[in-house]
Chains A and B, each alone.
Chain A
Amino acid sequence: MSRFEIYSPEGLRADGRRWNELRHIKCGINTHSKSADGSAVVEMGASKVVCIVQGPQEPETRSRVREKATLSVSVTVAPFSTTERSKHVTNDRRLQEMSANLQNLFEEAVLTHLHPRTEIVCSLTVIAQDGGLLSCCINAMTLALIDAGLPMYEYVSACSVALFDQTPLLDPNNVEETELASVTVGIVGETDKISLLILERRLGLDRLPPALELGVEGCKVLRQVMDKEVRRHGAMRLASRAE
């Protein structure tokens, strides 16, 4: 059982945040410029994901030659990413499912038809886990794809929302995720329309709308944060070219 109150009557969460607060977000773009075409690191609180993008390039297998560019996504979890070092790191199915979800989501945002008969390889590495794993991956992938110079309709941003009774809690950490049911919401661009919605624990239907609303707002803020980082990085590059 949790040692702390998950959400106190005074409106504070176990880590001192209020219901509508994101954790601190740190993102970096073009972090691994030598090893990849595009790269990014996203930290949401204590969760940290590195994404590396290669491509568009010639597909390794014939089956991936299509009229549109093929997105291949793989997720690896570092064994030291959790509190207790896990022995069976390859929790295959869960990660494979996550990869498939990422791939489906980004096919919507990336203009894949501009690069027929190519493959875009995205490798995500989870460095640290403290809740919001999927959203962290999505955000990192967006930045890395932008860094790789791939044409996209808009930013893809995601965050999760946990529900404490009727109160939605934005961007839950690991403690909150184990105690409460949570949904991950992802949007493409600055819109109220939800592109990705993943829920894996039982949740009353009537408690869903407030969570969706807060999740969408959270995504919009994340989009701004990412946009700022992209513009900062862009300005820096422009500046260096000007020299």
Chain B
Amino acid sequence: MSSIEQAFVQSLLEDQKRVSGRRLNEARKLELAFGGSYGHVEVKMGRTRLVAQVSSQVAKPRDDRPFEGLFLITTDVSSMASPRFENGRQTVDELMVTRLIEKAIRRSNALDLESLCIVAGQSCWMVRADVHYLEYDGGFIDASCIAVIAALLHFRRPDTSIDGSRTIVHTLDERPPVPLSVLHVPICVSWSFFDNDIIVVDADEAEQDLRIGSMTITINKDRDICQFTKAGKIPLSSQQIIECCEQAHGRAREITDLIHEKLKQDFEKRNRGNMGFDLAENDR
């Protein structure tokens, strides 16, 4: 980014304005679309665009955690998204993105690993969430977190049953696949810090290049902070921090509702047309 561009963005910010016309505490509009297969989600935030795909397979559990399934999140930042990224090499910033998503979703136990156990110590489900970045315009953390959690909610894994001491994995035709047990929906909200104590929510690419630091809060609808990362730059009083958390909570509620709304629409769409879906349970 040229110096003159930088100066322009900075001066706008100092006048409480942004290039995109948003207010300082206004996030971009979120678009969410589910694909044809279970667990495929495309998320758009402004020009940032990415895809998450969840898949599952039977694997052997870790020796030290025989009662739990496996859950992996991989992020693929390639030069497809933006020329700034190099294929196959991870910068510190990218590492921080990966770590944050990992902490926000995996370490906050959003996915109930215990319910993925098939036979303790022998077999379990391995759930993978792969995130591919298609276009970059800032806000990777927030967008990827939404994509992964939405994909997890959308995904259906094959059903299993027990016959004596044998376990059977049913094909999708044999038995309707079952949803994963998602315990809560963590949503990330990121702030960017600029010189002269300016704080901005959901920065785009230009703003991200200029910022001096950032802060990411992950919170769910139930007001549980799942992760909080702020390292230096603008010091905040605890009151300011709580205010930011409240703002994040408001956004988390909005996004959670949006995800659920979209999920409902998607499943209604799937069940229409041919009688693709027939409940055995009916009112008497």
Contacts and interface: CB of A to CB of B under 8 A. Distances in A.
Interface of A: 93-94, 96-97, 100-102, 104-109, 183, 186-188, 191-206, 208-209, 212-213, 216
Contact of A213 (B225, B230, B238): B238
Given A200-B103, A200-B107, A203-B225, A101 B231 contact: yes
B57 to A, nearest CB: 24
A194 B235 contact: yes
A107 B238 contact: no
A209 B242 contact: yes
A217 to B, nearest CB: 11
B225 A194 contact: no
Interface string B218-261: 01000111111111110111100110011001000000000000
B223 A206 contact: yes
A97 B242 contact: no
A204 B225 contact: yes
Interface residues of B, number: 32
A97 B99 contact: yes
A106 B231 CA distance: 9
A119 to B, nearest CB: 16
B109 interface: yes
A104 B92 CA distance: 12
Contacts of A208: 225, 241-242, 245
B158 interface: no
B224 A97 contact: no
Contacts of B235: 108, 187-188, 191, 193-195
B213 interface: yes
Interface of B: 92, 95-96, 98-99, 103, 107-109, 213, 215, 219, 223-233, 235-238, 241-242, 245-246, 249
Given A97-B95, A194-B238, A200-B107, A205 B228 contact: no
A209 B223 CA distance: 13
B223 A197 contact: no
Nearest to A216: B238
B232 A104 contact: yes
A203 B184 CA distance: 13
B236 A193 contact: yes
A205 B249 contact: yes
Given A100-B96, A203-B224, A204-B225, A192 B238 contact: yes
Contact of B233 (A96, A108, A192, A200): A108
B230 A97 contact: no
Contact of B99 (A93, A106, A187, A188): A93
Contacts of B109: 202
A197 B242 CA distance: 12
Contacts of B108: 201-202
Contacts of A204: 223-225
A104 B227 contact: no
A121 to B, nearest CB: 16
B232 A105 contact: yes
A186 B246 CA distance: 21
A194 B98 CA distance: 25
